[in-house]
Amino acid sequence: MVNPSSNPNSKTAIEPVTLHPSKHSLQSAQQVMLEQTQLRDVRLLLESLFDREESTVKLILNHLYDIGSVNLINQRVQSHTFNRLAKWIARLSKPVFRIVALRWFKRNCPQLITNWLHTQVKFQPRQIAEAVQAAETAASLPARSQELERYRREVRLLHSRVQLLTTLLISLTCTLGGSLLWMLWREQAQTAQTDRAVPVEFTQQQVRCQPEITVCY
């Protein structure tokens, strides 16, 4: 009996399979590497530009500091005296800000500007962004509708409470006003009755005190 695995001419022998990368994947990898290299060159060019134009960068930072400090002080400090004092302190601290801001600018801005420029030249299809935005809007609609319904219920509840309080206030005002009018009428009636009783008693007393006069002819 012959073992098929020992026969080199056997048809059942397994040959190793070699995977060859496709041409499209190779081109994509080369394109990505070329793009990264070009972005690195852009960052280096920006760094070189900022080193040569350091005086221009300082002027830009000075103007930005003046605008930002004035707006921030006007927004946060309302008192006129303290406002002027804060602006004076801001002018004194400008050199320190310029040193710190220039160091941060040179360290971070070339990469930030490179990333922003890269986003401007990607030219991604707008359909993807619109589809994502539409999906997010559709997903947020049920939550928004529930929130709006909850707000409507709260508004209706507040409206009913306001109506109840208004009714109670009107009833209380009418009750107090009626009680006050009745008390005033009663007081006036008692005063009028007292005024009528005093002249009658005074007249009776005068009649009793007059002597009898007899006329003789």
pLDDT of 180-206, one tens digit each? Answer: 777 777 777 777 777 665 555 555 555
Q: Give the model's pLDDT for residue 148.
A: 77
Which of the pair, 148 or 88, is modelled with greater confidence? 88
Which of the pair, 11 or 193, is modelled with greater confidence? 193
CA distance 151 to 159: 12
Rg (CA), the chain: 50
pLDDT > 90 in the chain, percent:
24
CA distance 58 to 49: 13
Examine the pLDDT at 135 and tell me if it is beyond 50.
yes
Which of the pair, 206 or 37, is modelled with greater confidence? 37
The model's pLDDT over 65-90, given as tens digits with 9 standing for 90+, comes to 999 999 989 988 888 888 888 888 88
Confidence of residue 108 (pLDDT cuts 50, 70, 90): very high
Distance (Å) of CA 126 to CA 28, 113, 131, 132, 133: 22, 23, 8, 10, 11
Most trustworthy range by pLDDT among 128-137, 151-160, 207-216 = 151-160
Asked whether the beta carbons of 119 and 101 are under 8 A apart, the reply is no
Which of the pair, 146 or 125, is modelled with greater confidence? 146
Q: Give the model's pLDDT for residue 195.
A: 65
